[in-house]
Each structure stands twice: as structure tokens, then as C-alpha cells.
């Protein structure tokens, strides 16, 4: 008889199976979280390697709306009620450019829509004003409320890029805007246009006054330089779009702490 039982023979199927070298389990790494300041929806090279088939790749996470994120509440809400106007403004710095604007001034609504969409802000503006007189009080008070809402939304400005600039063309018009979330209100306005009415009720002088109101209440430094433009509508549209893009870049979360050697922005 052999010196071992039949089932313990080195060539028995049971022994052969037990001596097979097992393959290590395949490790699939989940994509890393989107870094603060990176565009929403991007995923890094590691995610591409781990999920070569796009259909199997998990949905990426939005940088500003993760549960528990310190920037998930960058929302400002302001109500302003006077004898001249009633204003409601809400702004979400980490929105998708969704706008709900109704001020009763058509051209102004159009410009605010540019601000929200190109700034990628969720922006709600509801205004009732004494338009039987003119649009001055409505435009001014929307600027005041929007500036206050922006200030509330970014709080102490921790983690933001702080500086932002943009140069935006609209056909023949070209405008350069630079922003510093400095905590110190200062406006440099180099945008001279004829005094006229756009549409039926919007005086061109109101644009500068609108930005004066934002600067004073958001406590920012703002430079606006119109470099060219023959059409007033195009000129102001390039101003609002450049402001929107510069603002988007300035409020992007790119770090931690207050971006100032003084330790405060005020």
C-alpha cells in the first residue's frame, strides 16, 4: 500500500487545488474628491485609470455642496423695505448660474441675468419700486441689497482666492474688470458713455451708481475699465459679464485661512 491515503496523494485533485496560487483581489480605487476651486464635474487622472469605462465611473461630487463642507452655506439673503422700494435678494456663491430676476426694469433684469449666469451664482432678485418716478431708487436699492447679500455669503472671506480679474468682449466692446475682496470699498470707474436711455426706462448713468452701491455694501475694491465700444448696450453688457467672471474667480475657494498678511480683510 502507498504510505499515504489516496486522498492525500500529491497529485490528488484536492491537494492540487489547495496548492494553487490565488490571484490577489483587484482593487478599484474611487476617484479622489474634487479639490477646492476646481471646476465642478472634473475628475482626476486616477479616476480615469480606475474607471476606464465611463459608464461604470461614479458620479463626481460638487466641490461646494458636499455634506459638511465649510463652503456649503455660502448664501446671503437680504430684504430691504423702504418707502421707495421693497427688495428681496438671495445669492448662492456656489450655485449653477440659475437666475430668477424681476425688478420691473427690463434692461436691468437683462444685466442682472448676465451677472448670475456668468458668475455661476444662483441669484434671486425681486424688486418693487417707485417706477412711476424713474428707475433710480430701484437700481440703487438692488445694488445695496446685493452688496449686503454678497458680504453675508462670503462671511470673513476665509479660503477664498480674494483677487479676480477678467477681460470680456461683446462684439466691438471690450471691458476689463479687477476685484479685490479687500474689505475696503473703493471704485475706479473708467467707462464713459453718452447719457441716454436704453429701452424705455433705464438711464445709462445708473450703471455706475449700481456698482457704487455694490462696492460700498460688499466692501470690495473694484476697477472697471472700458477699452472700446460704440454701442452702449454692448458696452454695459461687457461690463456686467466681466464683473461676473472676475467675481467668480475672486470667490473661488482655493485654500484655508484669511488671504491677508494682516490676518483680516476689513
Residue with cell 421707495: 84
Q: Which residues contact 132 (CB under 8 A, 6 or more apart)?
A: none
Q: Is residue 199 part of a domain?
A: yes
Q: Is residue 111 part of a domain?
A: yes
User: How many CB atoms are located within 10 Å of the residue 259 CB?
Assistant: 16
Stated pTM of the model: 0.72
- The secondary structure of 197-216 as a DSSP string is EETTTEETHHHHHHHHHHHH
Give pLDDT tens digits along the chain (266 positions): 555 555 555 555 554 454 454 555 454 444 444 444 444 443 334 434 443 444 443 433 333 433 344 445 899 999 999 999 999 999 999 999 999 999 999 999 999 999 999 999 999 999 999 999 999 999 999 999 999 999 999 888 888 999 999 999 999 999 999 999 989 999 999 999 988 999 989 999 999 999 999 999 999 999 999 999 999 999 999 999 999 999 999 999 988 877 665 666 66
Q: Is residue 89 part of a domain?
A: yes
The alpha-helical segments, DSSP class H, found in the chain are 13-18, 45-50, 106-119, 136-154, 205-218, 232-251
Q: Is residue 28 part of a domain?
A: no
Q: Is residue 238 part of a domain?
A: yes
pLDDT for position 34: 40
CATH number of the structural domain spanning residue 151: 3.30.230.40
Q: Is residue 50 part of a domain?
A: no
The alpha-helical segments, DSSP class H, found in 71-193 are 106-119, 136-154
Domain count, the chain: 1
d(CA 156, CA 261): 14
Coil/strand/helix, residue 125:
strand
pLDDT for position 264: 64
Coil/strand/helix, residue 45:
helix
- What the block records as the C-alpha cell of 112 is 442682472
**Which of 226, 15, 26, 85 shows the shortest CA–CA distance to 4?**
15
Q: Is residue 22 part of a domain?
A: no
Domain containing 182 equals 75-251
User: How many CB atoms are located within 10 Å of the residue 219 CB?
Assistant: 20
Q: Is residue 30 part of a domain?
A: no
Helix orientation angle between 136-154 and 205-218, rounded to the nearest 10 degrees: 30
CA distances from 110 to 17, 105, 198, 241 (A): 74, 9, 12, 11
Amino acid at each position: 500500500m502507498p504510505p499515504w491515503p489516496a486522498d492525500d496523494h500529491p497529485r490528488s485533485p484536492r491537494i492540487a487545488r489547495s496548492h494553487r496560487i490565488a490571484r490577489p483581489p483587484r482593487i478599484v480605487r474611487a476617484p479622489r474628491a474634487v479639490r477646492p476651486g476646481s471646476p465642478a464635474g472634473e475628475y482626476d487622472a486616477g479616476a480615469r485609470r480606475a474607471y476606464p469605462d465611463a459608464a461604470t465611473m461614479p458620479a463626481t461630487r460638487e466641490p461646494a455642496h458636499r455634506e459638511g463642507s465649510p463652503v456649503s452655506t455660502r448664501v446671503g439673503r437680504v430684504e430691504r423695505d423702504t418707502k421707495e422700494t421693497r427688495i428681496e435678494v438671495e445669492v448662492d456663491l456656489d450655485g449653477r448660474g440659475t437666475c430668477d430676476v424681476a425688478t420691473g426694469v427690463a434692461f436691468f433684469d437683462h444685466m442682472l441675468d448676465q451677472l448670475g449666469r456668468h458668475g455661476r451664482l444662483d441669484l434671486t432678485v425681486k424688486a418693487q419700486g417707485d417706477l412711476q418716478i424713474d428707475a433710480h431708487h430701484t437700481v440703487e436699492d438692488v445694488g445695496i441689497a446685493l452688496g449686503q447679500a454678497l458680504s453675508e455669503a462670503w462671511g470673513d472671506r476665509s479660503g477664498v482666492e480674494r483677487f479676480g480679474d477678467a477681460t470680456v468682449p461683446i462684439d466691438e466692446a471690450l471691458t476689463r474688470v479687477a476685484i479685490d475682496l479687500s474689505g475696503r470699498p473703493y471704485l475706479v470707474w473708467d467707462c464713459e458713455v453718452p447719457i441716454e436711455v436704453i429701452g424705455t426706462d433705464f438711464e445709462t448713468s445708473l450703471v455706475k451708481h449700481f456698482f457704487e452701491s455694490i462696492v460700498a455694501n460688499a466692501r470690495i475694491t473694484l476697477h472697471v475699465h472700458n477699452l472700446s465700444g460704440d454701442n452702449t448696450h454692448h458696452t454695459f453688457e461687457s461690463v456686467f459679464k466681466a464683473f461676473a467672471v472676475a467675481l467668480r474667480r475672486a470667490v473661488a475657494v482655493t485654500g484655508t485661512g484669511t488671504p491677508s498678511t494682516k490676518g483680516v480683510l476689513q
